[in-house]
Structure 1
Amino acid sequence: MNKMKKKETQLPFRLNILFFIVFLLFSILIMQLGVVQILNGADFQEEIDRTIKDTTKIPVPRGKIYDRNHQVVVDNKPKYSITYTPAKGIQAADKLEVAENLAKYISMDSEDYINGITDRNKQEYWYLKNKEEADSRLSEEESADLDNAQQYNTILNRITNEELLDLSKQDLEVIAIKKELDKAYSLTPQIVKNEDVTSEEYARVAEHLGELPGINATTDWDRDYPFEDTFSSLLGSITSQEQGILADKEQYYLTRGYSRNDRVGRSGLEEYYEDILRGRKEQIQYTTTKNGRVVDTKTIVEGERGKDLVLTIDMEFQKEVDKIVREELETTIKKHPYQHRFLQDALAVVINPKTGELLAVSGQHYDHKSEKFSNTAFKALYDAHRPGSTIKGATVLAGYESGVITPGQSFYDAPINIYGTPVKKSWRNLGLVNDSDALKLSSNVYMFYIAMRMGGEYNYQSGKKIAFNRDAVQEMRNYFQQFGLGVKTGIDYPYEATGFVGTEPKAGNMLDFAIGQYDTFTTMQMAQYVATIANDGYRVRPHFLKEVRNPVPSENELGPVYRNTNTEVLNKVEMEQSNIDRVQEGFRRVFQETGGTAATYFKGKDYNPAGKTGTAENEVFEDGVKIDTENLSLVGYAPYDEPEIAFAVIAPHTGKVSQRHPIHHKIGERILDTYFDIKEDRDEEKFEKEAEE
């Protein structure tokens, strides 16, 4: 009993000791916190202020672009650059100090910089240099009625022209530098100078970075084009750093990690493949003092330049096609300069009909005033024209599949005279022709019979009205669209036109539609159309990109394949193969048989070509007067039995028949000749190389 009482008295004593110890520990902790807060607080806060850590993203060079034979088409050319990355909370006076110090080491006296200085820039500079004097020009009574922005603007407006005229050349250089510094966003590098930065300037700035907060001497880059103007209009361009991301797509780019002054593809393939070409930015963490002085840097994400594009284009062949198109355009215009005064463009597209790989896309424009040529290959996708008889293959196939004609059926080719409609006829009366003859000889009348029958008229009588179902126009368009005529081709490019679609579905217009003289189509659509016929009715998507390659450190080699572009079949035309075969035979006869409309240029060629010619009536207006012109077109492919190349050519607004040069035939003939000549030379080189090995 006594032992139990003794234990009970000992327990509270031990608890008291424990409580006392805990009390002492808390007291010591509170005292320590007091010491930190009261005695050392300022020192610790200064240390925190001294070590601000921020991350900056540094742009990297874009990916390169190669042709199908791995020749560099677009490269990156390095150049010296002076940049400015402002810390958070930087003030105008701080930027002015940086600008004044930087002006000691670089020159900004070129006209581009000096002429870009506005009166506002000068006023702001004068204000910072004479703040007390400037502020005294606004009374307290005036200030009471104005907000801060209004006060500032009023003060600037009271700086006199004489005071601004007193600014020295050195002052103007400082202003030019500060103007560039003012463009910078916090933690985002802004180029101050990257045009004509000398090695001496680069070295001086690099040596004095310690007294230039936020300034860096680095290497920037420009796009370089080894083939100069060749294919340039389709490659597109990128923005300058001054332009930065495109204003109309600002949110799109900002949400994808871009900075406002990042350069982006603004047109062409540079724009379409921006996500691939842009690369991964390098991320650098800066530790800075409160006044912006960098005390430590660390790379937290390694940068990697953009991936490389390998195109389907053969630049050697592309150069030759450009030359052919330009020479034939020049020859045509100079042969009859007055009659061809409206001829300005010639366009050509060359494609592999089985894969959709584009081998060459050419456009040449002639300015009659300056007498100079320019590369306008983009017009092959942007400009649509009446194609004329080149589309008659689609018309005949529409006739087969709609059931209004049968293979081998004949009609008598004589002028068609429908009441209320101008007389329509072929280029000459051809007599009795069947479907294959109609293609070979380019009979308009045969196509008119197909159109009339699709519209419901089987008993045409000269001078009488005809029955016509308005839905027949759209029915024929539906057949055409299976070949890519009147719809998007699916090409990997930011924009392509689909052409004009007529809005008056009446009999006369349908007859015109059947011979390619109503709706309009682009050269790319025409190339896809003939490629589809050559490829047994399989319509494949045309494409510029062959493959994507990962970048490698070496500047002179391609990296491993990242992605291939496979052949994509968009559709198989819903037509009997035997009917497609019959149109293919008709196209062969056009090019290879005596009397064929292109036989003069292609008969006897050992590469076994096939295709279709076209002439469409067109008009232009000069001083309010309508003048008749013609569009000359040609589509074709070779070899006929195993096609590996298809092409389309159009030259709009040529002179009339009596004055014209056969520009479409000459371009088409020279394109095929050149393609097979290059192929033969390469095969011989390959054979000799293998023999040596």
Structure 2
Amino acid sequence: MKPNALLKKKPKKKRSQLPIRLNILFAFVFLIFSLLIVQLGIVQILNGEEAQREINETANTPTEKAVPRGKMYDSNYDLILDNEPVKAITYTPPKNGESAEDLLTLAEELAAYITIIKDEEELTESISERDKKEYWYLENRDTVADRLTKDEKALDSSEQYKVELKKITQKDLDKIDWTTDLLNVIAIKKELASAYELSPHIVVNEGLTDEEYAKVAENLYHLDGINAMIDWERKNMYENTISSFIGGISTSEQGIPRDNSQYYLSNGYTWNDRVGESGLEQEYEHVLRGRKEKINYTTNADGNVISSEVVVEGQRGKDLVLTTDMEFQQEVDKIVKEELETAIHNSASNNGYLKDALAVVMNPQTGDILAMSGFRYDRETNEFMNQAYRTVYDAHEPGSSIKGATLLAGYQEGVVGIGSTLVDAPIKIKGSKSFSSHGASMGSISDLTAIERSSNVYMAKIAIKIGNGVYRQNEPLNINVQETFDTMRNYYSQFGLGVKTGIDLPYEATGLTGIPSTENLMHLAIGQYDTYTTLQLAQYVSTIANDGYRMKPRLVKEIREPSAEGDTPGKIIQSLEPEVLNRVEMDQTYIERVQEGFRRVYAGSRGTARGQWAGFPYEMAGKTGTAEKPQFKMINDEPVQVADTDNLALIGYTPLDEPEVAFAIMVPENGTGNGRHQIHHAIGKRIIKTYYEMKDNQQTEEDEE
């Protein structure tokens, strides 16, 4: 082998080299990533706050949807107040609101399917001149802008808009053909504009036809914010019976009360929520409202809703069980109305003033309201209107019916005792008119006789003695009138006279109090000065019947869960126990003495109620009352008495031991004469007879079962 052959080198392999184009590509990719990193840094450092705002705008936004309110049942668990499903078209505005132009466009689209006001005359009246100007403005914005002066263009947007509307003339409006279709569009736009962001607002439910509802439901995909849903309306199963105490709720247009909006908003309400405005609907709003359905809306950066999710299922409001038997309530209504009609049309003359009859029936041991009824006669329409609310809101002088409280005040103050006798003869104080009892003077009479025969003088002398006055005929009376008034009113208030009874309603009147004077003091003692409601009189007589314990009147006795069946309440949540407001500051012996006096009013040989109640099959106790109510007219700027009329009152309870029903009847401005004096007795007798008859029938049914 040749040495040179061993030394010969092997050929070298070629080093692989990347194509130059691939290097350029790598460099380009690197550059792009570098730019992205720089851009992210800029976004984070310079635009972080703006980016976070964008994120927030696309976050979930919670809102709530109203549910049906709780129902009401009577004491026998018969349904009184229900919810009736009603088809409705609603609008939920986006988070950032809609422009006026967008609302008009949506209204035009929606108007192709619905007419929110069917009556053309009503529709025309609902559209104001301003509504027409706002429409004209949207259609002719540039034209209006050209009419502004330089200074007007410098105004802020709201002020400038006001000026622009003023620039629109009647001539401008006359150029538009205001057809029914166009007015419907404007009416829809007004409804859309009244909605609050992310709060469903009812555009129309009343008068919405099935066809309209179906058309909207089929076209929801292009009607942003519009929904076809089921709304709820209240349905009173007994029409007007105690409707004024059931109360009412606001409409979706009214929403929550604006003067107390912060309270409602802080308690989870939205602006368009319907709430109780009166009666039990208002008093028990927190119970009846239920648990609203909670929905999360997802919105994009423009504020438009892109999706929604129910996160909390809604639950209908809790149910109320009332103390009233609706069958008995209806009978009491019938009695009061019929007797008022008889008194008005079956008498020679009542001077044209009689128009009202009021009655309250309650259980004196529990405070349960068994019935509250009131009717007013409208002489112009010749109609009798159910206005039971007057038993709580209207106050009148009740006459002698309060003499039981006056006598008890005398006992407790020590100015008279059991069996004390005083002379019933006209009282004549210097400078005052003569004061006497009705009819002839009674002479020397006892406390029981004073109640039985209704002595005005006996009660007036009690008031004078409470004031440490010494009566001498035709001489002035030295007495601290204000202090005596305060003492008397303090005793009356312990029975519920002149103060709130505590009934579970949002409002009740307490009556009027006058200016103290010696003459007025004597009238105060016989119920012819301060005024009281029929409910206060019922609480007063119930307190005496209940041995001095004043019970809080109540219309609701139970709160219950909604039931699956719907017509009957669910399980009990809370039983509202009877509540004692106070025990009058008087010896039990005194109360029993007045109870005996009240018994004699109905059953005594000279009792003021005996003539009307003789032979009545049930034992009764109570008191009659007649308060003079002169009528005046202004003649030559001076009040001139033109007629005499009386307020008639009757209070009572039964049976004497363990009384279970008490009543107060007030017939204000009843005219004069014996013919009219029978109406309150007629009402009272029929109410008590009905009560016992229904009780006996119920017992019979229970025995048969």
Counterpart of 2:77 in structure 1 is 70
Amino acid in the other structure paired with 2:464 = M
- Aligned partners of 1:447 and 1:514 also within 8 Å: yes
Counterpart of 2:489 in structure 1 is 477
Call closer, same or farther: CA 1:128–1:394 in 2, change over 3 Å: same
Amino acid in the other structure paired with 1:178 = K
- The 5 Å alignment of 1:146-295 reads 146-165=155-174, 166-167=176-177, 168-289=179-300, 294-295=305-306
- The 5 Å alignment of 1:116-515 reads 116-138=126-148, 141=150, 144-165=153-174, 166-167=176-177, 168-289=179-300, 294-336=305-347, 338-428=349-439, 429-457=441-469, 460-470=471-481, 471-506=483-518, 508-515=519-526
Identify which of 73, 81, 104 aligns with 1:96. Answer: 104
Counterpart of 2:113 in structure 1 is 105
CA distance in 1, matches of 2:348, 2:632: 17
Call closer, same or farther: CA 1:576–1:51 in 2, change over 3 Å: closer
Amino acid in the other structure paired with 2:189 = K
Call closer, same or farther: CA 1:87–1:581 in 2, change over 3 Å: same
Counterpart of 1:655 in structure 2 is 671
Identify which of 647, 662, 666 aligns with 2:682. Answer: 666
- Aligned partners of 2:87 and 2:229 also within 8 Å: yes
Amino acid in the other structure paired with 1:65 = M
Counterpart of 2:13 in structure 1 is none
Counterpart of 2:8 in structure 1 is none
**What's the Cα RMSD here?**
2.7
- Structure 1 residue 213: Cα displacement: 0.5
Counterpart of 1:633 in structure 2 is 649
SS in 1 for 2:651: strand
Amino acid in the other structure paired with 1:94 = D
Calculate the TM-score normalised by the size of structure 2. Answer: 0.88
Q: Bigger CA drift: 518-527 or 108-117? A: 108-117
Counterpart of 2:21 in structure 1 is none
- Aligned partners of 1:614 and 1:633 also within 8 Å: yes
Call closer, same or farther: CA 1:432–1:294 in 2, change over 3 Å: same
CA distance in 2, matches of 1:291, 1:145: 29
- Aligned partners of 2:57 and 2:303 also within 8 Å: no
- Aligned partners of 2:648 and 2:680 also within 8 Å: yes
Calculate the TM-score normalised by the size of structure 1. Answer: 0.89
Deviation string 1:585-604 (CA, Å, 9 cap, x unpaired) is 11111112332111223333
Report percent identity of matched pairs.
50
CA distance in 2, matches of 1:681, 1:54: 59
Q: Bigger CA drift: 405-414 or 644-653? A: 405-414
- Structure 1 residue 408: Cα displacement: 1.3
Counterpart of 1:57 in structure 2 is 64
Identify which of 694, 697, 701 aligns with 1:678. Answer: 694
Structure 2 gaps of 5+ residues are 1-30
Counterpart of 2:568 in structure 1 is 557
Identify which of 626, 639, 645 aligns with 2:661. Answer: 645
- Aligned partners of 2:111 and 2:184 also within 8 Å: yes
Deviation string 1:330-357 (CA, Å, 9 cap, x unpaired) is 1112233642411121111111000011
SS in 1 for 2:215: helix
CA distance in 2, matches of 1:554, 1:54: 35
SS in 2 for 1:369: coil
- Structure 1 residue 371: Cα displacement: 1.5
CA distance in 2, matches of 1:556, 1:658: 49
- Structure 1 residue 82: Cα displacement: 0.4
- Aligned partners of 2:256 and 2:271 also within 8 Å: yes
Aligned residues: 659
- Aligned partners of 1:354 and 1:644 also within 8 Å: yes
Q: Bigger CA drift: 592-601 or 197-206? A: 592-601
SS in 2 for 1:654: coil
- Structure 1 residue 288: Cα displacement: 4.1
Q: Which has the larger radius of gyration?
A: 2
Call closer, same or farther: CA 1:623–1:473 in 2, change over 3 Å: closer
CA distance in 1, matches of 2:485, 2:559: 43
- Structure 1 residue 136: Cα displacement: 4.3
CA distance in 2, matches of 1:545, 1:146: 58
Call closer, same or farther: CA 1:226–1:337 in 2, change over 3 Å: farther
- Aligned partners of 2:396 and 2:532 also within 8 Å: yes
- Structure 1 residue 364: Cα displacement: 1.0
Amino acid in the other structure paired with 2:115 = S
Structure 1 gaps of 5+ residues are 1-26
CA distance in 2, matches of 1:661, 1:203: 62
CA distance in 2, matches of 1:674, 1:443: 32
Call closer, same or farther: CA 1:290–1:500 in 2, change over 3 Å: same
Amino acid in the other structure paired with 1:452 = I
Deviation string 1:116-165 (CA, Å, 9 cap, x unpaired) is 122222232233334444444547x4665443334434444444535434
- Structure 1 residue 208: Cα displacement: 0.9
CA distance in 2, matches of 1:195, 1:236: 20
